[in-house]
Amino acid sequence: MDKCLGCYTCAMACKNLYHQDKGIAWRRLHSLSQDIWPHSERAWISLACNHCEHPACLKACPAKAYYKRDDGIVVHDESRCIGCRNCVRNCPYGAPQYNRTEGRVEKCSLCYQRIDAGLKPACVQSCPVGALELVDVVEMTDTARFPAGFPYYPQLNPSVRFMTARAPMMFGREEK
């Protein structure tokens, strides 16, 4: 969050790679509200699926269209999806999104095909300032799990960590 410029490159890289329909965006940027970030220079939170340890989507899907890989990535198998939208109701972070044209839900799968090929996810690769990284959350002890602006759901244990934004430095001539 400290590095993020709010340039939307991560969201656009994701959209370009997967040709998401109009209105669908697996990764989205959210501007922090002025109530929690009272600076004229805005701060951002870039979010897609959080690949929770206990995913609400996987638990609620009646058709078992979700599965969790050994590396923790939560994958949605669209061929099994019946379009009931129960996962949309259950995920508090809005990750699964309903595609009305397809009649199915879709979401970020952390570019697991790219990861299997030794590449970085599209969002991580595209970020011009290195604000997104693929890390082992167990090693991230000095990062925030639920910063302001990210709803508190410890029972799901989202697999994301945040380095919160620092107050911007002000440059200028001192008033006399």
Partner 1 sequence: MNDLELPLVLFTVLSQAAVGVAWVAAFKGGGSPLRSPALLSAAFLGLALAASLFHLGHPTLAVTALRNLGSAWLSLEILAAGLFFAFVIVGAVIQRKIWQVLGLVSGALMVVASGLTYAAPGYPSYDNALPTLLFFLTAMILGLSWGWRFIPEDGRPGTARLLAAVLLVAMVLNLVAPCLWANGVMAARMSAAAFASSPLFWLYVVAALGVPMVLIFKRLQIPTWMPVYLLAGELFGRMLFFALPAHSALTLGGIN
Distance, in Å, from the CA atom of 56 to the CA atom of 106, rounded to the nearest integer, reads: 15
Tell me the C-alpha distance between 134 and 127, whole Å.
12
Report 48-77 residues binding partner 1 (CB under 8 A). 56, 59-64
Is there binding between residue 91 and partner 1 (CB under 8 A)? yes
Identify which of residues 15 and 28 has a Cβ nearer to partner 1 in the complex.
28
Q: What is the DSSP string of 116-158?
A: HTTPPPHHHHH-TT-------GGG-TTSBSS-TTS---TTT--
Size of the site for partner 1 (CB under 8 A): 44
Q: DSSP class of residue 162?
A: B
Count CB atoms within 10 A of the CB of residue 62. 9
* C-alpha span between 96 and 85 (Å, rounded): 8
Q: Does 5 bind partner 1 (CB under 8 A)?
A: no
Q: Which is nearer to partner 1, 64 or 166 (CB)?
A: 64
**Options 8, 17, 25, 90; binder of partner 1; rule CB under 8 A:** 90
With CB under 8 A as the contact rule, the residue among 5, 16, 23, 80 that binds partner 1 is 80
Q: Is 83 in the site for partner 1 (CB under 8 A)?
A: yes
**Do residues 93 and 47 lie in contact, with contact meaning Cβ atoms separated by under 8 Å?**
yes
CB-nearer residue toward partner 1: 89 or 119: 89
Nearest to 95 by CA among 80, 76, 120: 76
User: Which residues, numbered 141-160, are part of the site for partner 1 (CB under 8 A)?
Assistant: 148-153, 155-156
Figure out which of the listed residues 24, 53, 67, 92 binds partner 1, where binding follows CB under 8 A: 92
Cβ proximity to partner 1: between 33 and 113 the closer is 33
Q: In the block, which residue shows the tokens 């697999």?
A: 159
Binding site for partner 1 (CB under 8 A): 28, 30-33, 35-36, 44-45, 47, 56, 59-64, 80-86, 88-94, 98, 100, 102-104, 148-153, 155-156
